């Protein structure tokens, strides 16, 4: 091993140790899987990885939408009004997959959509891949709960003063 390779290995080991100490071994394993799948350098900051993921997701979504609209245009004779309505509906369904209820759960998931199409239309999307993506997204982004839910639970469990203090803090923020 030459000096350059040794330096890279040491930097990688130091990075892994730091991440394991700060965020835990599970996070490090997840990070390594994500980096291995994307072929990303270990020295790339997490924010850059997230930005890259978002950029790739937008490009993939735009590509899928364009191909779907082209099929409707070229094979089914759809034109401006129907295509614009389809695009709007596709954007709305996509937004549903990225929106969360007040308990931090998705309103609908891609696997929900795929299961319905599988049951009603006999179309067999790759469920394993969809469920893996959803699991990884949940692990990477955590779970967010609305502050209103937290305040309600505090009040319901007899912590009215804490609930009021939190509500006041939110108002003044």
Question: Would residue 149 count as lying in a domain?
Answer: yes
Q: Give per-residue pLDDT as tens, 127-145.
A: 888 888 788 777 766 666 7
Residue 83 φ then ψ, to 5°: -65, -40
pLDDT at residue 43 in the model: 65
With beta carbons less than 8 A apart as the criterion, state whether 43 and 11 touch.
yes
Total structural domains within the chain? 2
For residue 124, the Cα-to-chain-centroid distance in whole angstroms is 23
Question: Would residue 82 count as lying in a domain?
Answer: no
Question: Would residue 19 count as lying in a domain?
Answer: yes
Helix, strand, coil percent values for the chain (each to nearest 5): 80, 0, 20
Q: Give per-residue pLDDT as tens, 93-107.
A: 988 887 877 777 778
Question: Would residue 83 count as lying in a domain?
Answer: no
Among candidate residues 17, 56, 22, the one with its CA nearest the CA of residue 40: 56
Q: Give per-residue pLDDT as tens, 62-73.
A: 999 999 999 999
Question: Would residue 16 count as lying in a domain?
Answer: yes
Question: Would residue 126 count as lying in a domain?
Answer: no
pLDDT band at 44 (very low <50, low <70, confident <90, very high): low
Domain extent at residue 38 = 1-44
Question: Would residue 37 count as lying in a domain?
Answer: yes
For residue 62, the Cα-to-chain-centroid distance in whole angstroms is 17
pTM of the model: 0.56
Question: Would residue 161 count as lying in a domain?
Answer: yes
């Amino acid at each position: 091993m030459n000096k350059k390779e040794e330096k890279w290995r040491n930097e990688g080991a130091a990075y892994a140790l730091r991440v394991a100490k700060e965020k835990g071994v599970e996070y490090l394993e997840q990070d390594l899987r994500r980096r291995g799948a994307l072929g990303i350098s270990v020295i790339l900051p997490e924010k850059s990885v997230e930005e890259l993921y978002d950029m790739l997701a937008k490009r993939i979504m735009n590509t899928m939408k364009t191909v779907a609209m082209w099929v409707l245009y070229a094979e089914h004779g759809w034109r401006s009004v129907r295509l614009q309505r389809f695009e709007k509906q596709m954007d709305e369904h996509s937004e549903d997959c990225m929106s969360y209820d007040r308990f931090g759960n998705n309103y609908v998931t891609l696997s929900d959509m795929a299961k319905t199409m599988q049951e009603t239309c006999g179309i067999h999307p790759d469920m394993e891949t969809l469920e893996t993506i959803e699991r990884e997204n949940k692990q990477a982004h955590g779970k967010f709960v609305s502050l209103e839910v937290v305040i309600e639970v505090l009040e319901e469990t007899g912590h009215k003063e804490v609930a009021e203090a939190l509500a006041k803090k939110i108002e003044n923020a």
